[in-house]
Structure 1
Amino acid sequence: MTRSGLILVDKPAGLTSHDVVARVRRLAATRKVGHAGTLDPMATGLLILGLNSSTRLLTYIVGADKEYRATIRLGATTTTDDADGEIVDRASIDELDLVTDGAVRSGIEALTGEIEQVPSSVSAIKVDGKRAYARVRAGEEVVLAARAVTVSEFELLTTRREGDAIDLDVRVVCSSGTYIRSLARDLGAGLGVGGHLTALRRTRVGAYDVHDAHGLDTLDPGAALIPAVEAAIRLFPRLDLTEQQAIDLTHGRGIHVADWAADDAGPVAAVAPTGHLVGLVEFRGKDARTLVNFPSDEIAAS
């Protein structure tokens, strides 16, 4: 299979993002498969895969905003800020009884907007060239620096009080690089009872929704593939090229588009008269130059 495009997968729990990539490589018979944003093994939901030259689109998808459904358990702190870790501290029932619904809402409000967030020490962030989680597993103590993130929506959906825990079902819309585990940890810490994540599902990445994703067990890569041109024009403004403009961009030459009036400099999806994606371009005034080209051999197969 030499076609290029995106595949939306609804990742099941228990698999790493790399496991999904490896399976799709076998199914699609290509080594050129990548993903746009890791999901932890515990998490489910939308994983966007790029095949062949469309892996070049993933760079632009990774930075898109994301939406999650999650369950936060108040009352216990774990080593990993989620249910996969060991419990290191547990609140008493009396302490949990002091956590009012109003306090929970205030805690959520404090974690909404532009915030400084310390990622979990078992995240995939690299520290001196090595993943933080790998350093933790090797016995090192890892404390990551706080980073600015945006939590545009943090909505409490349901509260369940059950003995030694309070479970909160929430919906979160956030910028790329936001850790939902860290939100759970910080919410619990702010309420004085600890907290961690027990369930996480990614429901949207940018323009793509999990409702359009395919189950891994029944995945047919050929049928599920979103062609590169469809993926690109969903992500970026579209520029319809003349035949000569398509030739010029294919050969690395810039083009002049006298009637280009869009405010955005780029990226812009450049589409040939044949309907295939020539590449992504950026504008400087009326002049465009290539950011990413797409090879003609994959165009012919798409």
Structure 2
Amino acid sequence: MPEKTAPAPSGILLIDKPGGITSHDVVARARRALDTRKIGHAGTLDPMATGLLILGVGPATRLLTYLVGLDKTYEATIRLGVSTDSDDADGAETARADASALAAVTDARIAAGVEALTGQISQVPSTVSAIKVGGKRAYDLARAGAEVELKARTVTVGRFDVVARRPSTSSGTEVGPGTEVGPGTEVGPGIEAGTIDLDVVIDCSSGTYIRALARDLGAALGVGGHLTALRRTRIGPFEVADAVTEIQPDAAHHLRSAAAVAADVLGALPVTADEARDLRHGKRLVGAAPRLGATATATPAAIDPDGRLVGIVERRGDDLKSAMNMPEDAS
């Protein structure tokens, strides 16, 4: 008898992305480790950024559309006093504040600037971004020297906490508590004169550009600003503490089932074997919508008696119909 081939890997993989590589690089590594081409990610991280990246593997890539819109948490460092053309440290410096302007940046002014950027705000994304303009990426147009004008979008910043303020360092040198540092003062190796670093923690909706928050805070304070460090620590219910840092050949052991992830994100709707079959065949579950209750999400995950993800369902009046089906052998 011919040997049975192992089923192709399927599930959700949480990765703690290191700095210096792209999200596509992470996907390429995962493809090699898991020996499959069908891998995608939910939400790009810039090369400079580190932290949580969610990969969908095999048929579970179908779930990514339900994950990309989840809210997120970031830890970041904003440098006040210098603007760059990309709004982060990878860009070229475009302006630098003078000492008098930086000396006027008080804690109270920072707090007011942060408050104005908290809640539902209108934000113009960074020019060097992956947003498409006329079918081309904004960063490709900007690097080609084209004028790029991006439209403002409404985003929500639920938390914007400044957890530390200190003179900037370019090599990790710390300034001890109580050290007085005036504008333009040389403090020692690694200190960049005339700038201020703010360590912040931000909760925000999907589509929020942290680089743009750094830029807009600096602009509001009259000194310019850009991002020097960014780490994504949470996406929806998923935490970076639960992610793997290296993608090894045995990474399949770290895959989370599509059923478990869908239930965590969308809520679970238990269905019978007959109902599972009907949903997979495109039939509606007549009169089943009231089973969801008033607090259920609009698109819950249908889970069969064996704990497998049948698919994502949606209401149609009192009925439920499938919005996305999963293969029976990949749940």
Fold shared, TM-score > 0.5 on shorter chain: yes
Report the alpha carbon displacement of residue 222 of structure 1 after superposing the two structures with TM: 1.1
Which has the larger displacement, 256-265 or 105-114? 256-265
**Map of 2:176 onto structure 1:** none
Tell me if the contact between 1:265 and 1:284 (Cα under 8 Å) persists in the aligned partners: no
Bigger mean CA offset, 257-266 vs 228-237? 257-266
8 Å CA contact 1:265, 1:283 repeated in 2: no
- What is the CA-CA distance between 1:71 and the residue it aligns to? 0.1
Provide the rounded CA distance (Å) in 1 between the counterparts of 2:248 and 2:257.
Answer: 20
Once residues 151 and 234 of structure 1 are traced to their aligned partners in structure 2, the CA distance between those partners, rounded to angstroms, is: 23
Equivalent residue number for residue 63 of structure 1: 69
- Secondary structure, in 3 states, of the residue corresponding to 1:247? helix
Distance 1:41 1:258, change over 3 A: closer
Structure-1 residue corresponding to 2:282:
252
1:181 aligns with 2:207: no
TM-aligned CA deviation for residue 38 of structure 1: 0.5
Q: Which residue of 2 aligns with 1:201?
A: 231
Where in structure 2 are the equivalents of 1:155-194 lying within 5 Å?
155-162=161-168, 163-194=193-224
Partner of 2:312: 280
Preserved contact between residue 260 and residue 286 of structure 1 (Cα < 8 Å): no
Cα distance, 1:215 vs structure 2 = 0.4
Query: Which residue of the partner structure matches residue 187 of structure 2?
Result: none
Whole-Å separation in 1 of the counterparts to 2:165 and 2:154? 28
Alignment match, 1:262? 293
CA distance in structure 1 between the aligned counterparts of 2:74 and 2:9, rounded to whole angstroms: 31
The separation in 1 between residues aligned to 2:159 and 2:310, in whole angstroms, is: 37
TM-superposed deviation, 1:170:
0.2
- Return closer, same or farther for 1:174/1:272 CA change in 2, 3 Å cut-off: same
The answer to whether structure 1 residue 41 and structure 2 residue 47 are counterparts is yes
Q: In 2 relative to 1, CA 218–157 (structure 1 residues): closer, same or farther, beyond 3 Å?
A: farther
Q: Is the 8 A contact 2:267 2:297 kept in 1?
A: no
Matches within 5 A, 1:37-186: 37-162=43-168, 163-186=193-216
Q: 2:254 aligns with which of 205, 213, 224?
A: 224
Q: Which amino acid aligns with 1:284?
A: R
TM-fit CA distance, 1:246: 1.1
1-structure distance, mates of 2:104, 2:137:
38
State the secondary structure of the residue aligned to 2:229.
strand
Percent sequence identity over aligned pairs: 56
AA partner of residue 26 (structure 2): V
Q: Is the 8 A contact 1:265 1:282 kept in 2?
A: no
Distance 1:29 1:218 in 2: 11
Q: Give the Cα–Cα distance (whole angstroms) in 2 for the partners of residues 261 and 134 of structure 1.
A: 46
Residue 294 (structure 1) aligns with: 326
Deviations 1:262-284 (A, max 9, x none): 22362111111121111111123
Measure the CA separation in 2 of the matches of 1:159 and 1:258: 52
Report deviation, 1:7: 0.3
Change (3 A) 1:278 1:65: same
- Whether the aligned pair in 1 keeps the contact of 2:29 and 2:247 (CA below 8 Å) is no
TM-score (norm 1): 0.95
The whole-number CA distance in structure 1 between the counterparts of 2:82 and 2:14 is 35
User: Once the two structures are superposed, what CA deviation does each residue of 1:165-205 show, in whole Å capped at 9, x if it has no partner?
Assistant: 10000001111111000000000011001100000000111
Alignment correspondent of 1:242: 272
Does the CA-based 8 Å contact 2:49-2:231 persist in structure 1? yes
Cα offsets for 1:18-68 (capped at 9, x unmatched): 110111011111111010000000000000000111111111111111110
Cα shift at 1:139 = 1.5
SS of the residue corresponding to residue 291 of structure 2 reads coil
Amino acid at match of 2:8: T
Letter in 1 for 2:212: S
CA distance in 1, matches of 2:303, 2:110: 50
How big is each residue's C-alpha offset from its partner over 1:238-291, in whole Å with a ceiling of 9 and x where there is no partner?
111111111111111111327614223621111111211111111234411001
SS at match of 1:159: strand
Aligned length: 299
Structure 2 counterpart SS, 1:84:
coil
Across the aligned residues of Structure 1 and Structure 2, the Cα RMSD in angstroms comes to 1.4
In the alignment, structure 2 segments of 5+ residues that lack a partner are 1-6, 169-192
TM-score, structure 2 length as denominator? 0.87
Q: Do 1:254 and 1:288's aligned partners in 2 also have CA atoms closer than 8 Å?
A: yes
Question: Hey, what's the Cα distance between the residues in 1 that align with 2:326 and 2:124?
Answer: 38
TM-aligned CA deviation for residue 154 of structure 1: 0.4
